[in-house]
Structure 1
Amino acid sequence: MVGPLAALSRNEMNELVERAGGGAASSVSAKTTLVVAGDKAGSKRAKAEGLGIRIVTPEEFTTLVAPLLEGR
């Protein structure tokens, strides 16, 4: 991750996603609504593209969840 998210552990990232109303998963399926993928993303990005799932960069994700980081 980038910016303020770079210091978060995987568990803290999962908690952040849940506070935003989502659920963190280790795999991509038809139920997935958003995938955060960097430049070197592999099979999960390809699967998300094939399923038509929205893909955002780590920078875009940081912007989406920034309000949840205030007062942390």
Structure 2
Amino acid sequence: MNETLNSIVEIIREAVPGLEIDPAKDSDRTFKDLGLDSLDKMSLLLGVQEKWNLEFNEEEISNLNTINDIYRKVS
């Protein structure tokens, strides 16, 4: 697993303690399918914004629904 993907998974684990993520299998699954609710998603995206010094607008937030979506945005 590359460093960027590893960082995203770590942010997810911090935002949603106890959630088991396997990037090899779960990268294209939606956050909803992984069991994240809208608050979990916002916590995750805030962590991503902070880590990579980004700011997502409403449209970007609505289009970031998988780990791979975030990966493509930050890499």
Q: Where on the TM-score scale, by shorter chain, does this alignment land: which range? A: 0.3 to 0.5
TM-score by length of 2: 0.32
* Structure with the larger helix share: 2
* Structure with the larger strand share: 1
TM-score by length of 1: 0.33
Q: Which has the larger radius of gyration?
A: 1
